[in-house]
Amino acid sequence: MEKVDLALCLAVDASSSVDHDEFGLMLGGYAAAFRDESVAAALAAGPRGAVAVAMLLWSGVGAQSVAVPWTRIDGAAAAAAFADLVDNAPRLVAPGATALGEGMAAGLALLAACPAEATRIVMDVSGDGRHNQGRAPGPVRDIGVAAGVTINALAVLNEELDLLAHYVSEVIGGPGAFAVHTPDYEAFAEAIRDKLWREIGGAAIA
């Protein structure tokens, strides 16, 4: 794969707190974001004209799986094709506990295996619950930051109203890291579109 401005791992919560309909809204929101004109424009706006994106689903300990492999996106057509892959991605991991740190560790491993050299490396974590099984997220976050990864997060507050604070203290880190929230899955699409535009847009101004 040719060099890219950004390697972006989308690390998506598929634990038992995310029911069938919510999972559909979440992946549908990601797909809609990649079909958005402003996001598609940002994807190709950097000096190298492209980003590499992959999607990882995570749940309990040992339950992580790549839903969409590394894909080079250099404009609207490639972004729409990636969106189709996201729309059709099966729920590959069994619903279980919220092993947030384990999911983040799997995301870091996926980023390390990215086939493209990237100017920036980012993990995008989204979910609706705090860590409750396996490795704690804070030390995993620190490993990622030490390796040059920026970790951002989107907290869905439908079950835990204080989840954003958990993400701020235990999940995000690295240059320009940020966390945002959405009240529920019905509003997920708009929130993830704005978040991705912010993440990807950094490639255009780096």
| pLDDT tens per residue, range 113-137 | 999 999 999 999 999 888 888 899 9
Both tokens of residue 17? Answer: 């707190």
Summarised one tens digit per residue, pLDDT across range 5-44 is 999 999 999 998 888 889 899 999 999 999 999 999 999 9
Contacts of 68 (CB under 8 A, 6+ apart): 53, 54, 55, 82, 85, 86, 89
The residue assigned the tokens 């983040």 is 104
DSSP state of 123: E
As a dihedral over the C-alpha atoms of residue 42, residue 203, residue 166, residue 135, rounded to 10 degrees, the angle is: 120
Q: How far apart are CA 187 and CA 192, in angstroms?
A: 9
Both tokens of residue 194? Answer: 């704005």
Give the β-pairing of 51-58 and 4-13. Answer: parallel
